[in-house]
Structure 1
Amino acid sequence: MDITIIGLGNMGFALYSKLKESKKYKLNLVDPKIDKILKRSKKNINVKTFKNFSDFLKANEKKTLNIILAIKPNQLIRLKKELSLFTKKKLEEINLISIVAGVSVSALKNIFRTDNIIRAMPNTPSIVGVGMTGLYMPKNVPKQKKVLAQDVFNLLGKTLLLKSEKKVDAVTAISGSGPAYFFKVIEILTETGEKFGLSKKEALLLVTQTAAGSISLLEKSQESPATLRKKVTSPGGTTEAALKTFEKKLLTEAITAGVFEARDRSLAICSELDSVFNKKT
């Protein structure tokens, strides 16, 4: 089966690498800087490259196309101009999976003039195969295309199927932005360790192994985060002292407010982009 990736940034390249490793697909790659990008990767006979989307479409006139859109939102305006050169009948043959943040299914329909559109929201740990992807797949999308989307993103980690497109904004705020929240906590704990006299290397090892071990324990124990937290927290002990201070400093409220801000910003971006791509021309 052929799969085309438009845009070879970090996430597009991660998808390319995992799909190539699987050896299940023939790949088409579309990016203006494709020659420079592929210097990072070994050549593969099952990979064809194109510098723009219109050249790719011309070379694949008679095929049904499975496309993963992995570009930045501001690149969609140029892409829409390229697509305007092709008939609606040709574009209707496209099956599209979009990982473009903030661009709704309705906006994508306006750009691509096809009804077969799936939205995916992966996160950066996908680059190393332990990512989390939220998938919104409208009811009208054929079953085999839904299965294909799951197969693709399961190569990058785990997937969550979303029944409502509105939940994509929640996924964006929780798992899409989530790695940055964890990295911030790791930064803080590492810097605190240095203040205690540890070297940066020592502190970072303590923090990263503790984080990895805690996640592993959570996944394998089948107990809730709250239960596991309580098991570490002895009355009058060091952990309780830290947790009480976190609450006095309103840690829970700060994190909750920040994640709500991320969700609201996602909604606002989606609204802004909808106004651009859904306006009548």
Structure 2
Amino acid sequence: MSAILNCNISFIGGGNMAQALIGGLIARGVPTTRITVSDPVEKVRALLAEKDLHVTDDNLAAIRDADIVLFAVKPQVLASVLAPLKGLLAGKLVISIVAGAEVATIAKLLETDRIVRVMPNTPALVQTGAHGLYAGAAVSTEDRELASQVLASTGLTLWVNSEAQIDAVTAVSGSGPAYFFYMMESMIRAGKNMGLDEKVATALTLQTALGAAQMAITSANSPAELRKNVTSPNGTTQAALEVFDRAQISQNIQTALAAAQKRSQELAQELSESTK
């Protein structure tokens, strides 16, 4: 983490994900004096100013002394945000968490190839994110380490070997929290239907999800092996899993993630075309 402590980091966009990363960096010891945030919304700037950060609504001013510039804006405003900065990021590491924005798209808009593309996910808000990172050959080992340190402040960081794999990351972890929330909703509803108070059903479901995740993370066994270990022959768990199998839940989950991957590819193509 020592390298990042000596860097000036500027965020273009101060929304929830940027705020999560900023909170993680501060918790890891990055001085607030080294963090600048540019955002057009006065309410957002006021909130960030309370953390003793440098805040502004001027993107040009924000990047002037930056070593690392992290873009956290909506895809639909990407071109308008990047256009005034074209040719001004020489010597700076660019990190993008903009959904669907391919490295080539950003490189064309900024005239730089020192770019790391990241697909984060919302559990970063509670420092348990899972972030997929990709960078081209122009990004040095040192820059990769800096990017890892920025993202690791809010969770797991994993590099992928090709940009196409970012679409798979999007399907698995980027959209992934919603899949688990969906499962939680269904379990809570089932508990209520079986007579449990909603608060009891919710508490049992959420703690079970937390416990299962923690077991999977810390165990030497795979999730498949852990599932087998809690499935007694002719028991209650087997009865439930047999219903899942008859409904082809596993196959449907794989089909659903493939649909998410395809949509990620389409969104990237749409964004690329819109910025030509």
Same fold (TM > 0.5): yes
Distance 1:152 1:159 in 2: 10
Q: Select which of 12, 21, 36 maps to 2:43.
A: 36
- In the TM superposition, what is the alpha-carbon distance from 1:144 to its structure 2 partner? 2.0
Deviation of the 1:114 alpha carbon: 0.7
Query: How far apart, CA to CA, are the structure 2 residues paired with 1:42 and 1:276?
Result: 34
Distance across 1 between alignment mates of 2:194 and 2:45: 45
Partner residue of 2:239?
241
- For 1:128 and 1:71, locate their aligned partners in 2 and report how far apart those are by CA, in whole Å: 20
Aligned counterpart in structure 2 of residue 81 of structure 1, from 62, 83, 93: 83
CA contact (8 A) 2:83 2:110 kept: no
- Of residues 178, 201, 204, the one that matches 1:203 is 201
Match of 1:5 in 2: 11
- Paired letter, 2:137: K
| Aligned match of 1:126 | 124
Unaligned runs of 5+ in 1: none
Correspondence 1:155 to 2:149: no
Alpha carbons 2:71, 2:94 under 8 Å: kept: yes
Shift of 1:199: 0.9
Q: CA RMSD in A?
A: 1.6
Contact 2:72 2:96 in 1 (8 A): yes
2:164 alignment counterpart: 166
Measured after TM superposition, the shift of residue 41 of structure 1 is 5.0
Q: Which residue of 1 aligns with 2:134?
A: 136
Aligned residue identity for 1:31 = D
Shift of 1:139: 2.1
Report the alpha carbon displacement of residue 111 of structure 1 after superposing the two structures with TM: 1.0
Which residue, 66, 72, 75 being the options, matches 2:74? 72
- CA deviations 1:33-87 (Å, max 9, x no partner) are 1x41244457344x21111313435xx2xx4631011001011122133235xxx
Contact map agreement 1:92 1:115 (CA 8 A) in 2: no
Count, aligned residues: 268
| Paired residue secondary structure (1:159) | strand
In 2, Cα distance between equivalents of 1:42 and 1:72: 22
Identity of aligned residues (%): 37
CA distance in 2, matches of 1:246, 1:50: 52
Question: Per-residue CA shift, 1:229-253, capped at 9, x if unaligned?
Answer: 1111112111111111111112112
User: Is the 1:233–1:240 Cα contact (8 Å) retained in structure 2?
Assistant: yes
2:192 maps to 1:190: no
Picking from 79, 92, 99, the partner of 1:101 is 99
Mapped contact 1:94–1:114 kept (Cα < 8 A): no
How far is 1:155 from its partner? 0.6
Gaps of 5+ in 2: 1-6
Divergent runs of 4+, >6 A: none
Kindly indicate whether the alpha-carbon contact (under 8 Å) linking 1:64 and 1:93 is maintained by their aligned counterparts in 2.
no
Alignment-derived partner of residue 16 in structure 1 = 22
Partner SS for 1:163 = coil
What SS is found at the alignment partner of 2:54?
strand
Distance in 2 (CA, whole Å) between partners of 1:77 and 1:165 is: 20
List per-residue Cα deviations over 1:182-241 (Å, max 9, x = no partner): 000000000000001111110011111111111111122210111111111112111111
